[in-house]
Amino acid sequence: MRKQNVDPTEMREVWRKQATREKVLQREVQSKLYWDKSSKQLKEYYEKHKAKFTKPETVTLSEIYLNFAGRDEAATRAKAKDLVAQIRNGADFVKLVTENSDRPDAAKNKGKSDPIPVKELDQKFAAAIKDLKVGGVTDPIEVDAL
């Protein structure tokens, strides 16, 4: 260090002053901001700002979409029931989505939807998944055309 014109004693003193300054800031400023609030003040803040501390409940659904357009409705319903039976018996869901879904992007997203806030979920789906465990399979659900 001395060969490069750096005095180790000066360097040690600079580091000591820096460490002392950081410790004083931590003890006298930061700790008071963090720890000086009473539990009553914290509770009041929480009650006023609950939205900051909660996230809306969401669900992600997976589907095999079968369209009635141009098809026999009874045959389509029978196919839907057959697919449900296959899935419940351990068939590969992604493979069935790829082979059967009428959604153009089904193979890419593997039948999964984006997360949906529970409050925005259609009642038909909400009722069907109400008591369903993660990974469970509902009976086929028919939705009205848009």
90 vs 28, higher pLDDT? 90
Residue 91 has pLDDT above 90, yes or no: yes
The Cα–Cα gap between 117 and 112 comes to 15
Crossing angle (nearest 10°) for helices 73-88 and 93-100: 160
Answer whether 0.75 is exceeded by the pTM. Answer: no
Whole-number Å distance between alpha carbons of 141 and 61: 12
Structure tokens at 103: 């959604």
pLDDT of residue 21: 94
Q: How far apart are CA 112 and CA 106, in angstroms?
A: 8
Q: What is the pLDDT of residues 97-139, one digit of tens each?
A: 999 999 988 889 999 989 999 999 988 899 999 888 988 999 9
Could you give the percent of the chain with pLDDT greater than 90?
49
Q: Rounded distance, CA 136 to CA 146, Å?
A: 27
Task: Pinpoint the alpha helices (H) of 3-142.
Answer: 8-25, 31-35, 39-48, 50-53, 73-88, 93-100, 106-109, 123-129
Model confidence at 146: pLDDT above 60: no
Q: Which of 42-51, 75-84, 129-138 has the highest mean pLDDT?
A: 75-84
pLDDT at 115: 92
In terms of C-beta density within 10 A (0-12 exposed, 13-18 middle, 19 or more buried), how is residue 21 classed? exposed
Read off the amino acid at residue 10: E
* Predicted confidence band of residue 3 (pLDDT cuts 50, 70, 90): confident
Ranges of each domain in the chain: 2-53, 58-129
Q: Per-residue pLDDT averaged across 36-42, rounded?
A: 82
Average pLDDT value over all residues in the chain:
89
Closest to 56 (Cα-Cα) out of 112, 105, 115: 115
